[in-house]
Structure 1
Amino acid sequence: MKFTQLIIVVALVCTGCKQLQQSQSTQVHHYEPNHESLAKHKAAPEWLADAKLGMYFHWGPYSVPAYGSAWYPSHMYMKGGSINKWHEEHFGPIEEFGYEKFIPMFTATHFDPEEWADLFQKTGAKFAGPVAEHHDGFAMWDSKINPWNAASMGPKRDILGELFQSLEKRNIKTLATFHHARNGQRNANTPEHWGKNGYNSHYPYHPDLPTATKDPMLRKLFGNFETIDEFNTYWLDQVNEVVKKYHPDLIWYDSWLNLIPEKTRLEMVSTYFNNGVKNGQEVVICRKQDDLPLDYSIEDIEQGGRKDIYPTTWMTDITLGESRWMYVEGHKYKSADLVIRNMIDVWSKNGVVLLNVSPRADGVINQEQRDVLKQIGNWLQINGEAVYGSRPHTIFGYGPAQSEDGSHGGQSSKIQYTAEDVRFTVSKDKKAMYVFFLGKPKAGKRIEMRAIGGYHRNIPPSPIKNVTLLGSSAKVKWEHTTESFFLTIPDVPLDDLANVFKFELE
């Protein structure tokens, strides 16, 4: 071996395992802000396909009123609307009590990043992080770009930074989500849109509303810049600040990323990918709708899923609340069986779940949510081998449950499954196939599963040599014929949420 070759080998060893685990493209490539260059980045690395479950949370000054929805900051300025009326009844006129007055009330007194990281880990999450900035324009990190940030006011703590440290200690990948593309005020010159909700800006605009302020600092909260180009630079600077300061493994974008000019988006992507190369990370960008090409990003379907297996890794973000993302006083939460069964359906179709919790303004994640998270975590403790690192079978499963359209595309995340609904996954090495019953089948029942019988093309990857019930030592009776497969449910205590049988393959 030549001396120069020896130096190269030693140098590679010394870079450490994390950098050696990168994909080949990130080892050797510097990304330019154009589609051809960015497409060389692997959209979904192996770690994400293996992870299956992540967690995040909607939390900020909008959590203080605990009323309506996370769109409270917008709706409170819509004169005559129900939120506006409620706000003025409880806090006074918006001219005297604007959204900025909630910030000192957003104390986060009970925020404990170590305890939260433990909670996410026990739930089974493999990546986690905060809504870094919602539409309201308030940053949850220690920002030098945005004066309206959690380290400078309100909690006076670096929420994102502290949590990232706690997550990294537990080898949990980090996530930052950005929703602030909609924060930019785009209606100042369109009188027909004044005072109304929507039209691509979070805060309604009217010359008589506080959101039209010319105050140099306050206008940044409302995204009310002199020009939209100035706002677009502000948007990019904040994302780049988080990327370069905190190095998230995954950044996720809410709808309306399309409002940011393509050139600016490409600059954002190249900066993020190059930062990943520099830090030895296989980073991921997740977007909704068609806001970035799937050549180098993955798709998210809000509160939903897919109706069939998708060839590449995708994501759904769902919330424990029945419909709300932030903490709302008295709002109901989904049951653990509903959440787990719908997550299994996602996993069987090559998807990853991003699960949202809703802390109170003081930093308490209430017991109702914790009870559901505990059930999810306990279930994954027993059945996790059928989930983590798994891949789809040739079909996702079968059963009588009817697919319902989701409000954001795909199918709903609130389908009511039963034990007659069956889903499949396969281990990466194809040495095991897992059969999920989305409920509690009757003990002693002999179930025919023609979908994986020898007559069909959906048979397991190789012959079955044994069948076991995860979490049980009971013997399982089974028969695999040339036309069908028969499984007898053992007479043992079964899980009310879902039950998984492992088919050991030759």
Structure 2
Amino acid sequence: MKRIKLKYFLLIGAIVAVSCTATKESIKKESTVIKHYEPTFESLKQHGAAPEWFADAKLGMYFHWGPYSVPAFGSAWYPHNMYKAKGGVRKHHEETYGSIYEFGYEDFIPMFKAEHFDPDDWAELFKNTGAKFAGPVAEHHDGFAMWDSEVNPWNAADMGPKRDILGDIFKSLKKQGLRTIATFHHARNGQRNRDKPELWGDAYDSHYVYQPYLPTATTDPKLRKLFGNFETIEEFNQYWLDQVNEVVDKYSPDILWYDSWLNLIPEEKRNEMAAHHFNNGIKQHKEVMLAHKQQDLPSEYSVLDYEQGGRRDSWPTPWMTDITLGKSKWMYVEGEPYKTADMVVRNMIDVWSKNGVVLLNVSPRADGVINQEQRDVLKEIGDWMKVHGEAVYGTRAHNIFGFGNAKTGKGHNAGQSSSVNYTANDIRFTVAKDKKSMYIFFLGVPKSGERIEMRSFGGYHRNIPPGKITKITHMGTNAETKFELTTASFFLTIPDVKMNSLANVFKLDLE
């Protein structure tokens, strides 16, 4: 009887001990949860850079759209170039609309009506393309806000479309189950060259060129805000921050993304921006993030974006690239050719195999129409994603990203989608997070019956699959595929089935 009681008390004691330990662990875990971020590096770095949902998402979409879409000429830098004394844009502007002294950039705004803008249609289009997050260019270099702003008098709700473009598209995106992104390009809107006569008319640190006799040197209190023409640059820096904070407070985007020249904004303002965004994420009970280009934000709490480019090799943490569907233009330009679906898909596969995420840009017309040429390409991409999404979403990079013959260039824009010619000789890999499957991508159409050797993938190399291969199938046809893994190499025989014209994927079942 005493032994039974002793065992009983020992059992109770063990349960209490475990309970106490668990309680201590939960208290410890709770104490490490950040409840408020301060605008300092030491505080902000605790947030981290890329949440799990972002690493899983793989594809997002955004759009360059604003008053600069009205002339549909040159590029989204039309507001910059129309005020420069030389160049084709100034000539085109004067021949089409008249002198810049009679027809300024602000006169395009009433013409930007967006009468066919259908946010529900756009959100459905983005989702069907395969995007997991989407949103607008909230404000480009031109200083025009695409939301209902109390800070910026030049906004889409009060003039032009007289609609809350950002608010409307966010509502539609959320109905489709997509996360949201707001991109900001207005760091270069502030006129920083007013006191540098040697740079007047030519400086690139401000979007609107300055000359005392140009309309951009206006003293009109309201128009000065459009041109970023403040008495002091400190006033503009606060104006920059107030606009971003307004979007965060009113719309709570999941991602704040910044174009180049964010380094022109003082570090203290950038820290205030980051803290405000992160604290709003806590308030909204969701994981938010920051993305930037170049070295404008610390990597400890922000994801680096490569414009029209990418990394040459795999990277241990998620990164990003923004590419445009246009061959070179970001806004709608009359006669602009578009990239083909195979070019876009193959480039995206290369990015995914290296732990990257793609932000794909489309270019609506000023009236709010995304033209059929772009829609056709997006449908091809979406159809491919529907079949092969398992090999994309939620996957991670393998020990090596792949191999092949494609020449990807050097530097920041290595892997640029408009210049790299991928073929079936270019192979890429991804691995499921649970390690129960792996995927081999052919960036083209391999020949049926061909026995392909992948020496760097198998054999004695350390790049072998993270498990025993039990079966390989061709995704899309589900055709079982012959393979051989030897001590020296790996061989895959292409089955005699219809191949996909964009890219082909083989699924490896692992145990």
Instruction: Say yes or no: TM over 0.5.
Output: yes
Q: Is the 2:193–2:203 Cα contact (8 Å) retained in structure 1?
A: no
CA deviation after TM superposition for structure 1 residue 27, in Å: 4.5
Paired with 1:34 and 1:168, the residues of 2 have a C-alpha distance of 32
Superposed CA RMSD: 1.7
Q: Is the 2:347–2:415 Cα contact (8 Å) retained in structure 1?
A: no
What is the one-letter code of the residue matched to 2:503? A
Q: Is the 1:26–1:282 Cα contact (8 Å) retained in structure 2?
A: no
What is the one-letter code of the residue matched to 1:133? E
Where in structure 1 do 4 or more consecutive aligned residues deviate above 6 Å?
23-26
Q: How does 1:69-468 map to 2 (within 5 A)?
A: 69-198=75-204, 200-405=205-410, 408-414=412-418, 415-468=420-473
CA deviation after TM superposition for structure 1 residue 196, in Å: 1.6
SS in structure 2 of the partner of residue 312 of structure 1: coil
SS in structure 2 of the partner of residue 305 of structure 1: coil
Match of 2:495 among 490, 493, 496: 490
1:30 aligns with 2:39: no
Cross-structure match for 1:15: none
Q: Is the 1:405–1:412 Cα contact (8 Å) retained in structure 2?
A: no
What is the one-letter code of the residue matched to 1:321? G
| Cα distance, 1:26–1:231 mapped onto 2, change above 3 Å | farther
1:184-233 C-alpha deviation (Å, 9 max, x unpaired): 011111111112241x1000000100000000100100000111000011
Paired with 2:492 and 2:201, the residues of 1 have a C-alpha distance of 62
Paired with 1:243 and 1:366, the residues of 2 have a C-alpha distance of 31
Higher mean C-alpha deviation, range 289-298 or range 411-420: 411-420
Paired with 1:190 and 1:25, the residues of 2 have a C-alpha distance of 52
Paired with 1:31 and 1:410, the residues of 2 have a C-alpha distance of 36
Paired with 2:31 and 2:102, the residues of 1 have a C-alpha distance of 55
Paired with 1:195 and 1:73, the residues of 2 have a C-alpha distance of 13
Paired with 2:265 and 2:30, the residues of 1 have a C-alpha distance of 30
Paired with 2:31 and 2:210, the residues of 1 have a C-alpha distance of 45
Paired with 1:80 and 1:73, the residues of 2 have a C-alpha distance of 14
CA deviation after TM superposition for structure 1 residue 405, in Å: 3.0
**Identical-residue share of aligned pairs (%):** 69
Structure 2 unaligned runs (5+)?
1-14
SS in structure 2 of the partner of residue 125 of structure 1: coil
Paired with 1:25 and 1:70, the residues of 2 have a C-alpha distance of 48
CA deviation after TM superposition for structure 1 residue 493, in Å: 0.6
Structure 1 unaligned runs (5+)?
13-22
Paired with 2:110 and 2:325, the residues of 1 have a C-alpha distance of 27
Paired with 1:386 and 1:24, the residues of 2 have a C-alpha distance of 36
Q: Is the 1:454–1:482 Cα contact (8 Å) retained in structure 2?
A: yes
| Cα distance, 1:41–1:78 mapped onto 2, change above 3 Å | same
Paired with 2:178 and 2:86, the residues of 1 have a C-alpha distance of 46
Cross-structure match for 1:478: 483
What is the one-letter code of the residue matched to 1:101? D
CA deviation after TM superposition for structure 1 residue 24, in Å: 7.7
Paired with 1:253 and 1:112, the residues of 2 have a C-alpha distance of 26
Paired with 1:324 and 1:25, the residues of 2 have a C-alpha distance of 49
| Cα distance, 1:485–1:276 mapped onto 2, change above 3 Å | same
Paired with 1:103 and 1:347, the residues of 2 have a C-alpha distance of 39
1:400-438 C-alpha deviation (Å, 9 max, x unpaired): 1112136x5443223110001100000000000100000
Paired with 2:273 and 2:30, the residues of 1 have a C-alpha distance of 22
TM-score normalized by the length of structure 1: 0.94
SS in structure 1 of the partner of residue 257 of structure 2: strand
CA deviation after TM superposition for structure 1 residue 80, in Å: 2.8
SS in structure 1 of the partner of residue 110 of structure 2: helix
CA deviation after TM superposition for structure 1 residue 454, in Å: 2.0
Higher mean C-alpha deviation, range 469-478 or range 216-225: 469-478
Paired with 2:156 and 2:276, the residues of 1 have a C-alpha distance of 25
Paired with 2:328 and 2:480, the residues of 1 have a C-alpha distance of 42
What is the one-letter code of the residue matched to 1:411? G
What is the one-letter code of the residue matched to 2:415? Q
CA deviation after TM superposition for structure 1 residue 324, in Å: 0.5
How many residue pairs match? The answer is 487
